[in-house]
Amino acid sequence: MQRSGPVDGTPAEAEVFTTVLTSGPIARADIARLTGLSSAAVTRVAKLLIDEGYLEYAPGEPAASDETRMGRPSSPLRVHADQTGSFGVIVRRDELIGMVCDLAGGPRVAERRPLTDNRVEPAVAAVAAFYRDLAASAQRLGFVDPPAHLGLSLSGDIDHDTGYVRYSPFLGWRDVDLGAAVSRAVAAPVVVENDVKALTVAEQWFGLGRGITNFAVVTIGTGIGCAIVVDGGLVRGAHSVAGEIGHLPLGDPAVQCHCGAHGCVEAEASTKALLDRCRAATGRDDLTIGAAVELARAGDDGVRAIFSRAGQVIGLALASVANLLGPERVIVAGEGVSSYDLFETAIREAFAEQAFGAAHQVPIHVRDLPFEEWARGAAAVAIQELVFPSRQRVANDMRRRTGVRRG
């Protein structure tokens, strides 16, 4: 059945813009087919987005399907990339990675700079200075409207709707009104998102999540993170904490996690947990994670066993995601994939043992994504905020209040 107007509270503008962005150039008839919106609704919304400068007609031949389905020829649509853009910055413990993207999410400028003092106030000042430099670079790119929106991502328990950081363990931040502080410092709209969720938006728009409606991204490294897309929508959950598989109790219940709970995946499989164990096993307090990886690859049985145990716990976490959500694929990313060879066998064995029924068949894709791709995700979140700002919030609030689900 074709629908017109908002789809279960999701604005049609968001559906049309995102479809053109991920599948364009695309004919309006094909947008209607992919979104389930009526042809009339697509035409109305496309006109609105063209008038706002966000979409444009692609040069070239009229799309055949538009001729047949709508009775008149029209060019396919694409995102007007040069209309404007956005900034994405990921805040890591000791580094800021920033990107300027055009409206289609195309990377235009990428930069890194050290974060020498990661306490809240100096970090906000460093982000603001970085933003001003990125904005100066963006000025030279010839956008119709200079980009202003900033997407900021960091690990931890982040309330996307308010920009409030409840807890970011690797920065040591608790209860920080980050969105408001950065927004004041840069005098521009700022949206804050959990780093894995932002990366997942980039995967959905440009990566292995393109064209599929159910998938999960699991990150291994400093933390064990996860974000989930169900029926085409990023699942944030009631308090924006959906997907925290790092704190599923699948590990040794005797081991306490930094979060205070016991048996968390992260307490055995994060980089720090691995390093602590490798140091204890070798008696070398100065061991680095790189040296531990080398020892394991050189055949040190004790160190290999520690990586293998971490792989087992990660495999159980992946199986939990597969059993709970039945994704079409699971994408594994994060800096830990550089030593994936040390986890792989244990991950596969634990996954095969614990995945139930058809969940066995869920393919696991390992992706070595640089942090620029994470920053691109933050820029993508800022594009969402730019193109469908409060409407998205209203939809989220409505869904939360009424428990309405899509699909």
CB of 172 to Zn ion, least distance (A): 15
Tell me whether residue 123 or residue 269 sits nearer to Zn ion (CB atom). 269
b (16+ CB within 10 A) / e for 263-298: bbbbbbbbbebbbebbeebbeeeebebeebbebbee
Smallest distance, Zn ion to C-beta of residue 165, A: 17
Query: Which residues are CB-neighbours of 218 under 8 A, at least 6 positions away?
Result: 224, 225, 226, 245, 314, 317, 318, 321, 330, 331, 332, 333, 334
Nearer to Zn ion, 223 or 311 (CB): 223
Q: Residue 105 Cβ, how far from Zn ion at the closest point, in Å?
A: 33
- For the bound state, the minimum distance from the C-beta of residue 309 to Zn ion, rounded and expressed in Å, comes to 17
* Least distance between Zn ion and beta carbon 130 (Å): 31
CB atoms within 10 A of CB 229: 23
CB of 266 to Zn ion, least distance (A): 5
CB 212 within 8 A of CB 305: no
Task: Tell me the longest C-alpha to C-alpha distance in the chain.
Answer: 76
DSSP class of 62: P
What is the DSSP code string of 274-291? HHHHHHHHHT-TT--HHH
Identify the CA nearest to 194 among candidates 160, 167, 221: 160
Smaller CB separation from Zn ion, 234 or 264: 264
Question: Residue 387 CB, nearest distance to Zn ion (Å)?
Answer: 36
Q: Residue 182 or residue 273: which is nearer to Zn ion going by CB?
A: 273
Rounded distance between C-alpha atoms, residue 122 and residue 185, angstroms: 12
Query: Minimum distance between the CB of residue 167 and Zn ion, rounded to whole angstroms?
Result: 11
Query: Residue 102 or residue 244: which is nearer to Zn ion going by CB?
Result: 244
Beta bridge partners of 79: 55
Closest CA to 179 of 381, 404, 403: 381
Q: Which is nearer to Zn ion, 317 or 386 (CB)?
A: 317
Place of tokens 């040390």: 342
Cα–Cα dist 395/298, whole Å: 54
Nearer residue to Zn ion within complex by CB, 48 or 261: 261
Closest CA to 119 of 127, 130, 111, 109: 127
Q: Give the sign of the dihedral formed by CA 173, CA 177, CA 183, CA 185.
A: negative
Site residues, Zn ion (CB under 5 A): 247, 257, 259, 261, 264
Q: What are phi and psi of 213, to 5 degrees?
A: -100, -15
Among residues 264 and 313, whose Cβ is nearest to Zn ion? 264
Between residues 50 and 242, which has the closer beta carbon with respect to Zn ion? 242
Report the nearest approach of Zn ion to the CB of residue 247 (Å): 4
The answer to whether the beta carbons of residues 305 and 280 sit under 8 Å apart is no
